[in-house]
């Protein structure tokens, strides 16, 4: 039977969701700057002041949402500057200059600065690309052909930092042992065009670290990455179970608890433990999930989990990652708040 083919926009949404989930983690964004940019960039960053910015911009010109991840920081020297790192990912080569999309984003950020009476922010655009063909970096003025030499000064000229995973080997990715969980994400993105390579590298992609980590932050990232691969290649729970035999026990336990893959087992276990231990959390979630079927059951479980573990994330961010309406997240947050969870 031939493998199922997905439209490009569907695939991009899957790539986009997992990228945001990982890069919305402050530690991972910091590790990217330290391991994938030049010293001339990261040596001036004050990492003691490094925070994610909640954005809800849209682009009518490009017909897409402002789907990037933004971080605000300042200079180590103490000089007054608001530096914004704008992370954007691409799973295929754009049909037009990426400068146009980035320029649209830059203008919206600067318009927001003016609206809030702030000095204009210094913005460093970053593009992470994981398509099949190499990315050819081309300066923006090069797109304007036949101009007199002295007319180049009238064309906006700005740069972006590029990480082209098509030009980085899996070995090079794995060698960056202190890059937090970028190894896991970048391996999966790089190999996402070849199911055989992903399955062959399953242990490398889904083994998350030392035995002492095992906390909810890593667990949610691990589950998110597993679901990404599971949905990308239309896998079955039996396939996942077989592959998981090659993973350490803590990773197997986290994956085994993913409701979208092992829904009935997860649901029965949650209800049984909720009754047995008399936990308020177990009773509430069991009652809610018992009334919802299929996709809603999965979405609610993941949404509640993310709300508890990342309460500082906005409703918009969680809705985009889980792929539900903002009202769905708002209702889930309200229910958890009312019950004191």
According to the model, what pLDDT value does residue 88 have? 86
Domain that holds residue 334: 263-338
* Distance between CA atoms of residues 209 and 225, nearest Å: 14
Q: Which of 227, 223, 232 is nearest to 252 (CA)?
A: 223
Q: Which SS3 state, helix, strand or coil, does residue 242 take?
A: helix
Q: Identify the H or E element spanning 59.
A: strand 58-59
Q: At which of 125, 159, 180 does a domain end?
A: 180
* Domains identified in the chain, total number: 2
**Same domain, yes or no: 23 and 117:** yes
**Same domain, yes or no: 66 and 170:** yes
- pLDDT > 70: what percent of the chain? 79
Specify if 189 maps to a domain: no
Q: How confident is the model over 266-295, as a mean pLDDT?
A: 49
**Same domain, yes or no: 172 and 26:** yes
Q: What are 297-338's pLDDT values in tens digits?
A: 667 777 887 787 677 777 877 876 776 788 888 888 888 887
Specify if 186 maps to a domain: no
Residues 6+ apart with CB under 8 A from 213: none
Specify if 40 maps to a domain: yes
**Same domain, yes or no: 165 and 61:** yes
Specify if 245 maps to a domain: no
According to the model, what pLDDT value does residue 299 have? 72
Q: At which of 160, 180, 200 does a domain end?
A: 180
C-beta of residue 218 within 8 angstroms of C-beta of residue 180: no
Bridge partners of 83?
73, 122
**Same domain, yes or no: 30 and 156:** yes
HEC profile for 243-276? HHCCCCHHHHHHHHCCCCCCHHHHHHHHHHHHHH
* Distance between CA atoms of residues 147 and 332, nearest Å: 57
Q: Does the structure show a pLDDT above 90 at 42?
A: yes
Q: What are 114-157's pLDDT values in tens digits?
A: 999 999 999 999 999 999 999 999 999 999 999 998 898 899 99
**Same domain, yes or no: 150 and 19:** yes
Q: At which of 180, 206, 232 does a domain end?
A: 180
On average, the pLDDT of the chain sits at 81
Q: Does the structure show a pLDDT above 90 at 68?
A: no
């Amino acid at each position: 039977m031939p493998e199922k083919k997905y439209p490009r926009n569907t695939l991009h949404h899957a790539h986009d969701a997992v990228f945001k989930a990982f890069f919305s983690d402050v530690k991972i964004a910091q590790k990217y700057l330290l391991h994938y940019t030049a010293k001339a960039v990261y040596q001036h960053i004050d990492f003691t002041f490094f925070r994610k910015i909640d954005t809800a911009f849209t682009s009518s010109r490009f017909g897409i949402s402002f789907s990037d991840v933004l971080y605000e920081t300042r200079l180590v020297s103490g000089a007054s500057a608001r530096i914004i790192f704008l992370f954007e990912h691409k799973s295929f080569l754009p049909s037009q200059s990426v400068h146009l999309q980035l320029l649209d984003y830059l203008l919206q950020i600067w318009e927001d600065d003016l609206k809030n009476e702030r000095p204009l922010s210094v913005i460093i655009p970053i593009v992470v690309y994981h398509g099949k063909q190499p990315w050819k970096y081309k300066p923006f003025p090069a797109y304007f052909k036949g101009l007199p030499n002295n007319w180049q000064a009238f064309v906006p000229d700005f740069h972006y930092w590029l990480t082209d995973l098509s030009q980085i080997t899996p070995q090079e990715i794995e060698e960056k042992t202190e890059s937090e969980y970028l190894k896991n994400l970048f391996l999966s993105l790089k190999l996402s065009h070849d199911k055989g390579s992903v399955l062959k590298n399953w242990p490398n992609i889904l083994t998350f670290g030392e035995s002492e980590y095992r906390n909810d932050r890593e667990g949610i990232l691990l589950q998110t990455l597993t679901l990404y691969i599971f949905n990308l290649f239309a896998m079955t729970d039996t396939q996942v179970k077989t592959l998981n035999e090659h993973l350490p026990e803590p990773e197997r336990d986290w994956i085994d608890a993913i409701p979208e893959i092992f829904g009935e087992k997860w649901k029965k276990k949650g209800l049984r433990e909720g009754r047995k231990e008399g936990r308020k959390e177990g009773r509430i979630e069991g009652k809610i999930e018992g009334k919802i079927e299929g996709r809603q059951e999965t979405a609610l479980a993941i949404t509640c989990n993310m709300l508890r573990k990342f309460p500082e994330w906005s409703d918009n961010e969680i809705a985009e990652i889980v792929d539900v309406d903002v009202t769905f997240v708002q209702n889930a947050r309200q229910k958890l708040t009312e019950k004191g969870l």
